[in-house]
Amino acid sequence: MTDIHAQARRGIKLLMIRQVFLQVFTFAGGIVMARVLDPADFGLYAIATFWVSMLALLGDFGLAPSFIQRKAELTDRDLQVGFTLQQILTTCVVALLMVGAPWLAALYPKAPAQTVWLVRTLAFSLYLTSWRSMSALQLERHLRYDRVAQIEVLETLSYQCIAVGMAIAGYGVWSLVWATLARGLLGTALVFLAAPWPVRLKLDSELARSTLKFGIPFQVQMLANQVVTGWITPVLVGVVIGPQAVGLLTWASSNGQKPLMLVDNVMRVAFPHFSRIQEDRNEVEIQMSRYLTYLLLPTGLWFAVLLVAGPPLVIWIYTDKWAPAIPALILFAMGLNVEVIGRIVGITLNSLGLVDFTTRIVLLKGFAIIAISIPLVLLIGFNGVPLGYLIATTFTNPWVFRGLGQGAMRRVLFPVAWVILPMTASIGVGFLTRLAPLSLILQALVTTFTVIIVYAGTAWITGPGWLRAALVEQLHKYLRPAPGQLAND
């Protein structure tokens, strides 16, 4: 079990290093595109991507997660049957999108005619996803995140370079579309080279049934998370308010939930990690608290920075055309802290094989978001989406803990409750700093650095001893590595 924990820690470290590296490029690229493109361009891309992603999820059936969670080793036959099922389903979805694109575009009277071809072009990216999945799941199942990190760095760099270059050249929303396809093509080739397998088309009804038994409930969770709740922005807001509002809301969600990239990377490691130690429930709960500690620290800091310094930062960096999205930006950042808890517990339950229970809770959460968000959108506009998301997520989180047994919520959350202290202290001091008569740029910089310093100092003082020891150990490792240690890493 020690080896499994070490592999998981190494996987998280590699993905985190990759994420920090990529954030520099994505942040810079995002600033350029936000200044060059109009919010309506982002809105059109979000609308087209939503419909393609929704139908892709309907036709996926959770084949990859089913293979990752399986205790027995995978055979070439397993991969070939899974690949065949995916090709059949993907072809059906692509055909449906090609034929149905005009009807989808007709839902948006304020959208331009090019929306039809945006949907049709993005539909072909589904083939790229299906062609890479069997190789990608082998890398993740065996926690080979060194290769995953390298590939995703190259993918993101290619996307940013193409998207920024084409946006500056005046291609508008199509700069996002062509960058998406180029990234998918490059990633598919690199993933297959990293984990090649004998590609064949093969059908096996018994194997397909056993795979779908886990995969379908898992996919229902994905549908609830990304479609049941995700349709509110591109459909309700897009139809009622227009692509401009969709662009503002999509931008606010992307930036307000920026640490979600970190969370998703950790989730990718947590699922196979917990799956490998699922027989020891006590150890699983201990590791859950550790994961939550590492995730709630950055998400708490991100919320504190946006709440205090968000308004001057947005106007200075992105220009005032994005100012209407600032309240949604802050609400999304607040809701992310609650979302992290639910995601950790949900991925743990899935790894323990309790996928049916998790699916019911995710559906409950999805319908709660819809029931709350629709009247809020009609009442207060697009800010009703992040507010509904925050309320519904807070309401449903206690229910998901029931899958772990009585007292699990206390056992898991009590060791991480201290993270409230650095958040509260940094927000209080940060707002005091904003009272100083400073220019826009100075206010943005001074308040940001103040929040970060107070947050880090308070976290160091109030945090658990094991966290300080781990940070000191990592610091010593990088400053004074032992002979041969770098080679072993």
Q: Based on the fold, state whether residues 124 and 254 are members of the same structural domain.
A: no
Q: Based on the fold, state whether residues 163 and 262 are members of the same structural domain.
A: no
pLDDT at 17: 61
pLDDT at 46: 75
pLDDT at 447: 94
Expressed as residue numbers, the domain containing 40 is: 1-215
Residue at a domain's end among 215, 244, 273 = 215
Q: Based on the fold, state whether residues 8 and 38 are members of the same structural domain.
A: yes
Q: Based on the fold, state whether residues 307 and 333 are members of the same structural domain.
A: yes
Residue at a domain's end among 215, 250, 281 = 215
pLDDT at 486: 42
Coil, helix or strand for 484? coil
pLDDT at 302: 95
Q: Based on the fold, state whether residues 33 and 107 are members of the same structural domain.
A: yes
Q: Based on the fold, state whether residues 198 and 236 are members of the same structural domain.
A: no
- Per the listing, tokens 């059936």 go with 61
- Does residue 105 form part of some domain? yes
pLDDT at 296: 92
Q: How many separate domains does the chain show?
A: 2
Q: Based on the fold, state whether residues 211 and 237 are members of the same structural domain.
A: no
Length of the chain: 489
Q: Based on the fold, state whether residues 83 and 152 are members of the same structural domain.
A: yes
- 331: which residues sit within 8 A by CB, 6+ positions away? 256, 383, 386, 387, 389, 390
pLDDT digits (tens), the chain, 489 positions = 545 555 555 655 555 566 666 666 676 677 777 777 777 777 777 778 777 877 766 655 666 666 665 666 777 887 888 888 888 888 888 898 899 888 888 877 777 778 888 888 888 888 888 888 888 877 777 667 677 777 878 888 888 889 888 888 888 888 888 998 998 899 889 989 888 888 888 877 776 676 666 666 666 666 655 555 555 666 667 666 777 788 888 889 888 888 877 777 777 677 777 777 777 778 878 888 888 888 899 999 999 999 999 999 999 988 888 899 999 999 999 999 998 898 888 888 878 777 778 878 877 888 888 888 889 988 888 888 889 889 988 988 888 888 888 888 888 888 889 999 999 999 999 999 988 888 989 999 999 999 999 999 999 999 888 888 877 876 776 666 544 544 444
CA distance 77 to 53: 28
Q: Based on the fold, state whether residues 203 and 244 are members of the same structural domain.
A: no
- Does residue 439 form part of some domain? yes
Give the global pTM: 0.63
Residue at a domain's end among 215, 246, 278 = 215
Contact 470, 441 (CB under 8 A): no
Q: Based on the fold, state whether residues 245 and 385 are members of the same structural domain.
A: yes
- Exposed e or buried b per residue across 181-198, where buried means at least 16 C-beta atoms within 10 angstroms of its C-beta: bbbbbbbbebbbebbeee
Contact 215, 61 (CB under 8 A): yes
- List the structure tokens of 468: 């300080």
Q: Based on the fold, state whether residues 246 and 163 are members of the same structural domain.
A: no
- Does residue 289 form part of some domain? yes
Can you say whether the dihedral through the CA atoms of 90, 95, 98, 100 is positive or negative? Answer: negative
